[in-house]
Amino acid sequence: MKLVRYGLKGRERPAILDGDGLLRELSGYIEDIVPDILSVAQLSLLAAIDVNSLPLVAEKNVRLGPPVGNIGKIICIGLNYTDHAAEVKLPLPVEPTIFMKGCHPTGAFDSVNLPRNSEKGDWEVELGIVIGQGGLYISEANALNHVAGYCVVNDLSERSYQMDRGGQWTKGKSFPGFAPVGPWLVTPDEVPDVSSLSIWLEVNGKRYQNGNTSNLVFNVPQIVSYVSNFYQLEAGDLIITGTPAGVGLGQKPPVFLKPGDIVTAGIDGLGIQRQEIHAWKD
């Protein structure tokens, strides 16, 4: 299934994408796509619905919100692609590097405001893992049973905050709007091999990132299991798994985001997102 939330911010409604790429209403079955809906039992009930029997979403060109409402923790894995670690000249981590993203998710096509006096706005396309069943000390063998689905995430950053203001990654990752998610939540049955997905990002039509999840240092089961040693994972938590080479900081010379830029990013089978970059307005 490809689950979607559409409508004005804070007033999104649940929908599902049909085989023709059209939105079908789910509000006759659920009020919203929230953590309580992400259990195996609840997703199985949705999967049993005849999608073509659902009414089409009548509105055209509707806004798509984050595909899960009330997302909990955003847990990030750093330096998790072999090529990205090489471009920033850092050794591969022996264990996953974990940090947090302290902002709320936004829709895949929502515009992004850079911080006031932004100097080094940057992009990072990432595979997102949405937790459906929480837990502590989850084994690698059982880790995928805790996954409700996958999505595209742009882990936007202000590198000057991250690197020049005390060296804290979370500080540079948490400005409002720095976590576009979606357009869809894709359930695992539609992602037969999450370890072999093309992942890419373009700025103004120029492709900067062109990677594959086969280059992950730590794969999805390893990440879910590892994180659960330190965090009580809960339904609705979002783990983002790192970015491939091609970030702005890694260009020679570096390239950073500026007002008017258009960022487009996608992952095979998980959809494409697009953001227009704006300057901060007091």
Give residue-wise pLDDT tens across range 259-277.
999 999 999 999 999 999 9
At 83 the pLDDT is 81
At 163 the pLDDT is 79
Of 102, 128, 134, the closest CA to residue 36 belongs to 134
At 93 the pLDDT is 85
Answer whether 0.85 is exceeded by the pTM.
Answer: yes
| DSSP conformation class of 26 | -
User: pLDDT for 191-246, tens place per residue?
Assistant: 999 999 999 999 999 999 999 999 999 999 999 999 999 999 999 999 999 999 99
At 215 the pLDDT is 94
Asked if the model's pLDDT at residue 89 lies above 80, the reply is no
The runs of H, that is alpha helices, within 111-231 are 159-164, 169-173, 220-227
Query: Which domains occur in the chain, in start order?
Result: 2-53 (no CATH), 74-278 (3.90.850.10)
Asked if the model's pLDDT at residue 21 lies above 90, the reply is yes
Identify the band that residue 87 occupies on the pLDDT scale cut at 50, 70 and 90: confident
Mean pLDDT of 24-32: 97
Q: Rounded mean pLDDT of the chain?
A: 95
At 281 the pLDDT is 87
Point out the least confidently predicted range of 1-5, 116-120, 163-167: 163-167
CA distances from 41 to 4, 48, 124, 282 (A): 19, 11, 33, 47
Q: Please state, in angstroms and rounded to a whole number, the distance separating the CA atoms of residues 80 and 39.
A: 28
Provide CB contacts within 8 A for 66, sequence distance 6+: 5, 12, 105, 106, 107, 181, 182
Largest CA distance in the chain: 55
User: pLDDT for 99-136, tens place per residue?
Assistant: 999 999 999 999 999 999 999 999 999 999 999 999 99
